[in-house]
């Protein structure tokens, strides 16, 4: 019987980058003679037919309840299934994947390590205890808790959910007067975090583990909307950094990952560069979203991101030679002002551009464009590749600027001018 790679959670069907990542996992496993088994909810499996068709087997198994996937996999192994590797590319499936790997004796990160990094305040506490610079943070159950933290620390501050992603519910405040509006943005009425705001340019660090050691593939420069929200609008890879700063990032992030107990799979670590050094943000045991994987694949020609991980999990020979960017790539998100779309101009020209690696629109005539408060409010994106990261960033910005969203408010302004 072929060895089996179990992919927990599959993909997020409505996110093209998630489906693309998952298809890459399955293809690179198949190229190594590994059988693939995808587990996810029945509704998600039904919504991702390309994933089901690409896998050797798909099974409806939930991954949000503790131990649910692990127990199912344990029964499969007892019945003769040879599960040798367990992966997840979804954030919400990371704990289930770690529990499952432990249950079937496959290599992977310990479940308690994944729980720690997924609990934002616990991850901050662990990094601070290990000697890494961290903003002060407090887990709050009420506005009174948050107000107490504000009195004890210097602002501004960030209010955010304890367990969410995509900038959902994240906002900046400068006084206790801002708390009610910030709390109203949170996705639920449970506990939440308030932490000190860190000022400085933002980056993310992308990489994999090989033989238990982190191998950084690239540092990505990040652009966000101005406060009070922090929605990511662009990424450039590799970041244009002087060698001393790049070395500082590599050393700090590598040491932090090991201090947290991570030893396997992919990682995506968010950081700030401040005058006093690197400050770590959130740490993830997966590749970054926002098509960063596509940018890595272009910038490092021939790389197989998941193939490298599978080789490591199976103890196969490591890919020889350097794994560093030799080209540049960038993604720019389309974030037009709020309004109802009448028409979109310039999109066909974007699709025809030879440097475009991927482009997508989630808006069309009749779409109501909301204010930009979270990642889901973005309405399109353009990923490009170029000879250098600077050229890629400039091209992505140019192409994004060439797309015009005509809205009902624009038409009203034209009519008003014509009638004046």
Reported CATH class of domain 329-412: alpha beta
- In this chain, the answer to whether the domains covering 200-326 and 329-412 adopt an identical fold is yes
SS3 track for the chain:
CCCEEEEECCCCCCCHHHHHHHHHHHHHHHCCCCEEEEEECHHHHHHCHHHHHHCCEEEECCCCCCCHHHHHHHHHHHCCCCEEEEECCCHHHHHHHHHHHHHHCCCCCCHHHHHHHHCHHHHHHHHHHCCCCCCCEEEECCHHHHHHHHHHCCCCEEEEECCCCCCCCCEEECCHHHHHHHHHCCCCCCCEEEEECCCCCEEEEEEEEECCEEEEEEEEEEEECCCCCCCEEEEEECCCCCHHHHHHHHHHHHHHHHHHCCCCCEEEEEEEEECCEEEEEEEECCCCCCCHHHHHHHHCCCCCHHHHHHHHHHCCCCCCCCCCCCCEEEEEEECCCCEEEEEEECHHHHHHCCCEEEEEECCCCCCEECCCCCHHHCCEEEEEEECCHHHHHHHHHHHHHHCEEEEHHHHHHHHHHHCC
pLDDT digits (tens, 9 = 90+) for 355-384: 999 999 999 999 999 999 889 899 999 999
Q: What is the pLDDT of residues 336-362, one digit of tens each?
A: 999 999 999 999 999 999 999 999 999
**With bands split at pLDDT 50, 70 and 90, how would you rate the model's confidence at 126?**
very high
- Residues 252-304 have pLDDT tens digits of 999 999 999 999 999 999 999 999 999 999 999 999 999 999 999 999 999 99
Fold of the CATH domain 200-326: D-amino Acid Aminotransferase; Chain A, domain 1 (3.30.470)
Domain 4-106, architecture per CATH: 3-Layer(aba) Sandwich (3.40)
Range of weakest confidence among 132-146, 155-169, 179-193, 223-237: 155-169
Query: Could you tell me the residue ranges of all domains in the chain?
Result: 4-106, 136-196, 200-326, 329-412
Residue 190 has what pLDDT? 87
Question: Taking 60 as the threshold, does the pLDDT of residue 420 lie above it?
Answer: no
Q: What is the fold of 136-196?
A: Dna Ligase; domain 1 (3.30.1490)
- Look up the pTM and report it: 0.92
In this predicted structure, what is the pLDDT of residue 320?
Answer: 66
Average pLDDT in the chain:
94
């Amino acid at each position: 019987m072929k060895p089996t790679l179990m992919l927990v959670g599959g993909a997020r069907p409505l996110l093209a980058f998630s489906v693309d990542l998952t298809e890459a996992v399955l293809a690179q496993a198949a190229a190594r003679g590994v059988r693939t088994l995808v587990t996810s909810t029945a509704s998600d499996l039904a919504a991702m037919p390309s994933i089901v068709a690409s896998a050797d087997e798909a099974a409806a198994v939930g991954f949000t309840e503790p131990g649910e996937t692990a127990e199912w996999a344990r029964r499969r192994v007892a019945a003769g299934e040879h599960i040798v590797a367990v992966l997840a590319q979804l954030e919400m499936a990371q704990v289930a994947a770690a529990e499952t790997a432990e249950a079937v004796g496959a290599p992977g990160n310990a479940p308690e390590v994944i729980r720690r990094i997924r609990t934002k305040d616990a991850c901050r506490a662990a990094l601070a205890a290990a000697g890494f610079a961290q903003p002060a943070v407090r887990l709050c159950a009420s506005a009174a808790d948050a107000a107490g933290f504000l009195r004890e620390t210097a602002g501004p501050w960030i209010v955010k959910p304890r367990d969410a992603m995509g900038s959902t519910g994240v906002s900046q405040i400068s006084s206790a007067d801002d708390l009610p509006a910030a709390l109203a943005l949170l996705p639920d009425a449970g506990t939440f975090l308030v932490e000190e705001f860190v000022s400085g340019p933002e980056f993310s660090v992308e990489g994999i583990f090989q033989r238990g050691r982190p191998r950084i593939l690239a540092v990505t420069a990040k652009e966000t909307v101005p406060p009070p929200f922090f929605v990511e609008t662009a990424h450039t890879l590799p970041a244009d950094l002087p060698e001393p700063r790049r070395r500082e990032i590599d050393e700090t992030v590598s040491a932090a990952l090991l201090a947290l107990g991570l030893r396997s799979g992919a990682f995506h670590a968010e950081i700030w560069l401040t005058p006093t050094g690197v400050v770590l943000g959130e740490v993830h045991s997966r590749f970054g979203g926002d098509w960063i994987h596509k940018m890595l694949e272009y910038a490092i020609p021939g790389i197989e991101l998941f193939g490298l991980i599978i080789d490591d999990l199976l103890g196969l020979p490591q890919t020889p030679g350097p794994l560093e960017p030799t080209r540049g790539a960038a993604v720019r998100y389309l974030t037009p002002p709020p309004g109802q779309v009448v028409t979109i101009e310039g999109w066909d020209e974007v699709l025809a551009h030879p440097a475009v690696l991927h482009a997508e629109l989630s808006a069309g005539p009749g779409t109501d464009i909301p204010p930009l408060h979270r990642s889901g409010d973005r309405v399109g994106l353009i990923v490009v590749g170029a000879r250098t990261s600077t050229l890629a960033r400039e091209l992505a910005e140019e192409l994004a600027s060439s797309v015009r969203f005509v809205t009902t408010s624009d038409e009203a302004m034209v009519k008003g001018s014509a009638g004046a």
